[in-house]
Amino acid sequence: MRSKLLDSIPESYFGKTMGRKLDIGSKPLINTAVGIPDQKVPAEVLETVQSAVQEPANNKYGVFRGKEALKEAIQKFYLDTYGVELDKDEEICILYGTKNGLVNLPLCVIEPGEGVLLPNPGYTDYLAGVKLARGTVYELPLLPANHYWPDFDALDSAVLADTRLIYLNYPSNPTGAVATRAGFDAVVRRFRGTQTKIVHDFAYAAFGFDAKNPSILQSPGAKDVAVEIYSLSKGFNMSGVRIGFAVGNKDIIGALNYYQDHTQVGMWGVVQEAAVSALKLGEPFLETQNAIFRKRRDQVTDFLTETGIPFEPMQGGIFLWLRIPPGYKSEEYVDYLLKTQSILTTPGLPFGSNGDDYIRISLAISDEEIEELLIRLKETAGLYQ
């Protein structure tokens, strides 16, 4: 038995596809479909987990809104990394994985019927949060000609007037596009003082190949209008730990904390101590991560350019946005690659209608797999002629 509200939400693409049985070709499978980091959890984090498990206080109910040590670590990390000062009590919300925050946010801040602008293409599960809040979904088209940056002037004025929340995501999943400080400055200026608020999904913050990725909170006045949601899953290789945080506008942060007071009972202290340990590693560790993916980006894009297979510039994140050959749609081409080359990719269509001419390829695979991936992709070059 499901409510009509729950039934209105499309099936989760990644929930449906992770772990499914695959009909692959004769070659060994190369799985580029999921953005799970391929590096190890930092040794310092694992050592912290081992000792924290034995601490009796960590195996009892904890403070609902998180340990002071974790909030202080987040404060220091944002100050050291982005030069942004945060109030640990009013401008930080600890999240049980950033997906929870991204999906729950509309329920906390919009009324039924109010509009939310979602990027197209964009992360698939933003939609579920708007549906659960009974909001109205508006599309925010992101186009190659504008480097996948939103053109708010091109939107209908009535849509903008009805919009209460805008989702942004840079570095972009799935396109690999990045934001600039000037771009964020302009967005903050435009919506500051209006009824519209901004949530910036900063999951791939660590990965900026041509320049360091800016935080939207670095823009003047950003805390009046924006929150940023940061994940430890990608940069710190902690996807299974399920921890992240939201920072910024105190009203939105307050609403998220209030919501979690009623839906959660304090995060396990072991997980919080693991996060503290990771954040203390700071930028030096993240730059090592970034260098790994920068090298992979350069290797793959140089090869594809030489081979004549078209793709969008990959400036950040861990995903390559690859154009598919003429005569295919994204889901058809995913099936083709799986059956002929044993390469599992992600179709662009689940990310929005503007994605149907693309597939998403994760570079979170081993160097050996990348070498083999390129050999197999070269065999498809003739399809583009």
Question: What would the pLDDT profile of 205-239 be if each residue is shown by its tens digit?
Answer: 999 999 999 999 999 999 999 999 999 999 999 99
pLDDT value of position 13:
77
Judged against a pLDDT cut of 70, whether residue 373 lies above it is answered with yes
Torsional class of 197: left (φ above 0), alpha (ψ -120 to 50), beta (otherwise): beta
Q: Which two tokens stand for residue 119?
A: 């990027």
CA 80 to chain centre: 22
Peptide bond into 313 cis (omega under 30): no
For a pLDDT cut of 90, what percent of the chain falls above it? 92
- Beta strands 163-169 and 197-201 are parallel
Q: Which two tokens stand for residue 32?
A: 């580029």
What's the pLDDT tens digit per position in 1-49? 789 999 999 888 776 665 667 788 889 999 999 888 899 999 999 999 9
Q: Which two tokens stand for residue 298?
A: 């350069």
Say what the pTM is: 0.96
CA distances from 238 to 207, 225, 232, 348 (A): 15, 29, 6, 26
**Burial readout 43-80 (b: 16 or more C-beta within 10 A, e: otherwise):** eebeebbeebeeeeebeeebeebbbeebbebbbebbee
| Helix/strand/coil (H/E/C) assignment for every residue in 65-87 | CCCHHHHHHHHHHHHHHHCCCCC
Confidence of residue 200 (pLDDT cuts 50, 70, 90): very high
What's the pLDDT tens digit per position in 64-112? 999 999 999 999 999 999 999 999 999 999 999 999 999 999 999 999 9
What's the pLDDT tens digit per position in 124-175? 999 999 999 999 999 999 999 999 999 999 999 999 999 999 999 999 999 9
Domains present along the chain, CATH in parentheses: 4-41+283-384 (3.90.1150.10), 43-281 (3.40.640.10)
- Let me know: does 191 contact 145? Beta carbons within 8 Å: no
- How far is residue 223's CA from residue 78's CA, in Å, rounded to a whole number? 14
